[in-house]
Structure 1
Amino acid sequence: MSPAMHAIEGKARHRAEMALTALAVFPLVLGLLNLRALSRAPRRAPSGDEGVSVLIPARNEAGQIKEALAAIIANGPIVREIIVLDDHSSDDTVARIREVRNERIRIVSGEDLPSGWCGKSHACAQLARQARHGWLLFLDADVRLAPDAVARLMAGTEDQETIAFISGVPHQETRSFLEWLLLPFINVLLFGYLPLPLDQGRSSGLAAACGQLVLVKAQAYHAAGGHEAIGWRLHDGLALARSLRQHGFRTRLIDATDLAHCRMYRNAGEVYAGLMKNAVEGLAGPVALPVWTTLLAGGHILPFLLRASPLMKVARAASLALRLLVALRCRQGVLTVLFSPLGTLLLLWIQFHARLRHMTGRPVTWKGRLYET
């Protein structure tokens, strides 16, 4: 090869390394800015005395519903009622609920799932119709609240200009290999790629939420159409936040690491199926998939595969620094940092798998139900 060709090849390689370094450094910079923007709920009681209806959709949750109810009851009188919808459980969910003797608990039997609805959204819509208080706290059955969580969430709605909706990602308990390898990406994507400093709580394009933990003002919820307006969506929390913003209400995302904890999935099969379920509405959309592939593969996989040039060393350090930043803030283990390139690769594999299933018309399965994505 001639010297001229060597020079051209060297310049092309340098430009490629510059691009990959930028893809690794940008989310680290944004993550540092988001440390302040993604704040935690204030450690104080709310100034008002409005009550909260806690609403729990439950389908085959016999193994954990009692712990969830005990944690809610520990939040005291600010929780005026706890409504659990039994969504056609085939286990002892109802019997376990009845063992928790508390006058605030009500059990509702779920209606049959209509065509075109997601099971959880349908359950939440029924729960909202039963609620009698000014604020609705939608809570997954695997979430365990801290004793002051509800009061702090209510105080968080007063922290800024009137907030009608507040949500956060609980601390994710991860024990099996795929849990600690993949579930921390929930927080990585929030800290590294959501421009929270630009968000004033109104733009639907910047809305973010976690369906595991959602507190919403009942009046705003019903004005925006509630879960009926998003009944087919699998990303119910995000869809609800966007719906409220489209109707003129402000929403807020917080870091809920110290408010609640949750073990979302309990084995590798559940992790894979759960991420597949949400993929097409998330990273695996027809436009989103090539964009996220460029961002994640370019910033967090390729720098570890290419030769260790000075630029690639910077890119590797930036990628690991972002993961360490999120791990420290969200109480994640060090293994998820060390194995982050592998985790990123597997996450993208799941997105492409979900995209392929969608293109071939194959439904996703969750809790015994089939969903056309």
Structure 2
Amino acid sequence: MRLADLGRRATALGTALSFASLGLTIDNVLRVRRPSRGTVAEAEPLSVLIPMRNEASTASRCLTAVLEAADRWPGPVRVLVLDDESDDGTGALVAEMAGRDRRIEVIAGSPPPPGWLGKSWACRQLADAAFPYGVLAFLDADVVLEPHAFTSSAALLRSLGLDLLSPYPRQIANGAAERLLQPLLQWSWLSTLPLGVAENSSRTSLSAANGQFLLVDAVTYRQAGGHEAVRDVVLEDIALLRAVKAAGGRGIVAEGSEVATCRMYDGWREVRAGYRKSLWSAFGSPAGTGAVTAGLCLTYVLPALAALAGSRVGAVGYLAGVASRAVSAGCTGGRAWPDALAHPISVLLFAALAADSSLARRKGELRWKGRVLEGVR
């Protein structure tokens, strides 16, 4: 077969996959669950669990929003903050806020034992100090909640009979690197995961979650092994949902742009460091990540390149990818235009960061917040 024929067939395949992804994106946007403002939560205990390691720049804003949301909770509330060996004044700042509101309790974290990653160990310490029943709400310190976040999210959790709910916060993206990459977080599951099937499926492979804001039934959490079950997993949020499913529970990802916002990274340096620590394992293994990124390039990059060379089929595939990205942005509170037009560049940059992450893991160079990540999976 001539190279030109092979290129046309690959372009046609990529275009077909792009159209299929667009169809799934639209279907998911129509069926995705959303916490509803004004719903009433059960009067049960709520434990808000926030690990903090050098979060002085975000701690006050995070906790102020948490307390406002806690004011609407109908039952008892504890806000537990773990100071994970911070050296930037986080502990003093949180202690000062705790002195003004007794719902806040500060825990001095201990170093991770062998075999544990820092965040999972911090979450384990928090869960050990929480109410033994009710709802556990895990929250990252760079998340800002809306006043109805706890009540509307917990009401959705209980009304659907779920054990875990992950309302995906709206991602704040400023600057070129953030705008190219951060929207891929929501787009990735909206364009690939059949939410209608995943909601009722016990298959652990049909899982998406975000530890930035995650609610889980306290009893089920412990039956599933809690964070000990995911102690050495970099993407502990998805792994926790899989553990809940493996224990017979149910959990889903929800569209949470109206209940929480998060700016994960500030600029290219933070973006690269954040993705470097985890992308190698995003699809199960470095090999899996490589295979998926190759498929993404076939689906979204090759048609765009063919379009530049005058291919009408490639142009159709490119536009289908752009439409998928725009539909996702419209659903999740993101910026659709003109950012969606650069979708092939976003995919290429994602693939480059995935390769960088896999190489760093092979060399033993994975680090996060000053800690070396060893023995991770």
TM-score range, shorter chain: over 0.9
Which residue of 2 is the match for residue 121 of structure 1? 120
Which residue of 1 is the match for residue 35 of structure 2? 41
Which residue of 1 is the match for residue 359 of structure 2? 356
Report the AA paired with residue 20 of structure 2: F
Contact map agreement 2:276 2:360 (CA 8 A) in 1:
no
User: Where does 1:306-317 land on structure 2 (aligned, <5 Å)?
Assistant: 306=306, 307-317=309-319
Contact map agreement 2:82 2:107 (CA 8 A) in 1:
yes
Which residue of 2 is the match for residue 186 of structure 1? 185
Report the AA paired with residue 358 of structure 1: R
Which residue of 1 is the match for residue 86 of structure 2? 89
Structure 1 regions of 5+ residues with no counterpart?
Answer: none
SS at 1:269 equivalent? helix
Aligned mates of 1:10, 1:58 — CA distance in 2 = 55
Aligned mates of 2:201, 2:218 — CA distance in 1 = 18
Report the alpha carbon displacement of residue 364 of structure 1 after superposing the two structures with TM: 0.8
Which residue of 2 is the match for residue 346 of structure 1? 349
RMSD: 1.7
Contact map agreement 1:283 1:351 (CA 8 A) in 2:
no
Contact map agreement 1:46 1:158 (CA 8 A) in 2:
no
Contact map agreement 1:284 1:352 (CA 8 A) in 2:
no
Report the alpha carbon displacement of residue 295 of structure 1 after superposing the two structures with TM: 2.3
Contact map agreement 1:53 1:83 (CA 8 A) in 2:
yes
Aligned mates of 1:89, 1:328 — CA distance in 2 = 38
Aligned mates of 2:30, 2:111 — CA distance in 1 = 44
Report the AA paired with residue 317 of structure 2: A
Aligned mates of 1:43, 1:185 — CA distance in 2 = 26
Contact map agreement 2:305 2:314 (CA 8 A) in 1:
no
SS at 2:258 equivalent? strand
Alpha-carbon spacing, 1:346–1:126, altered in 2? closer, same or farther (3 Å):
same
2:16 paired with 1:25: no
Aligned mates of 1:131, 1:31 — CA distance in 2 = 38
Which residue of 2 is the match for residue 60 of structure 1? 54
Aligned mates of 2:7, 2:164 — CA distance in 1 = 47
Structure 1 length-normalised TM: 0.93
Aligned mates of 1:254, 1:209 — CA distance in 2 = 8
User: Where does 1:295-310 land on structure 2 (aligned, <5 Å)?
Assistant: 295-306=295-306, 307-310=309-312
Alpha-carbon spacing, 1:10–1:226, altered in 2? closer, same or farther (3 Å):
closer
Cα deviations by residue, 1:33-86 (Å, 9 ceiling, x for unpaired): 111232211233335211211000000111110111110111115261100000
Aligned mates of 1:320, 1:80 — CA distance in 2 = 44
Report the AA paired with residue 89 of structure 1: S
User: Where does 1:318-337 land on structure 2 (aligned, <5 Å)?
Assistant: 318-333=320-335, 334-337=337-340
2:174 paired with 1:175: yes
Cα deviations by residue, 1:194-234 (Å, 9 ceiling, x for unpaired): 12122215221101110111101110011111001110111
Contact map agreement 1:55 1:139 (CA 8 A) in 2:
yes
Aligned mates of 1:318, 1:339 — CA distance in 2 = 13
Contact map agreement 2:172 2:261 (CA 8 A) in 1:
yes
Cα deviations by residue, 1:244-275 (Å, 9 ceiling, x for unpaired): 00000111210011110011111211110101
Aligned mates of 2:290, 2:368 — CA distance in 1 = 26
Q: Could you say which structure has the larger radius of gyration?
A: 1
Report the alpha carbon displacement of residue 13 of structure 1 after superposing the two structures with TM: 4.5
Identity %: 33
Which residue of 1 is the match for residue 195 of structure 2? 196
User: Where does 1:244-283 land on structure 2 (aligned, <5 Å)?
Assistant: 244-283=244-283
SS at 1:40 equivalent? coil
Report the alpha carbon displacement of residue 326 of structure 1 after superposing the two structures with TM: 1.1
Contact map agreement 2:41 2:152 (CA 8 A) in 1:
no
Report the AA paired with residue 88 of structure 2: D
SS at 2:80 equivalent? strand
User: Where does 1:282-301 land on structure 2 (aligned, <5 Å)?
Assistant: 282-283=282-283, 285-301=285-301
Aligned mates of 2:93, 2:197 — CA distance in 1 = 45
Alpha-carbon spacing, 1:267–1:286, altered in 2? closer, same or farther (3 Å):
closer
SS at 2:286 equivalent? coil
SS at 2:158 equivalent? coil
Report the alpha carbon displacement of residue 91 of structure 1 after superposing the two structures with TM: 1.0
What is the aligned length? Answer: 365
Aligned mates of 2:352, 2:261 — CA distance in 1 = 27
Cα deviations by residue, 1:266-316 (Å, 9 ceiling, x for unpaired): 121111010111112204823423431232101111112122322111101
2:174 paired with 1:152: no
Aligned mates of 1:47, 1:137 — CA distance in 2 = 14
Report the alpha carbon displacement of residue 236 of structure 1 after superposing the two structures with TM: 1.3
Report the alpha carbon displacement of residue 10 of structure 1 after superposing the two structures with TM: 6.5
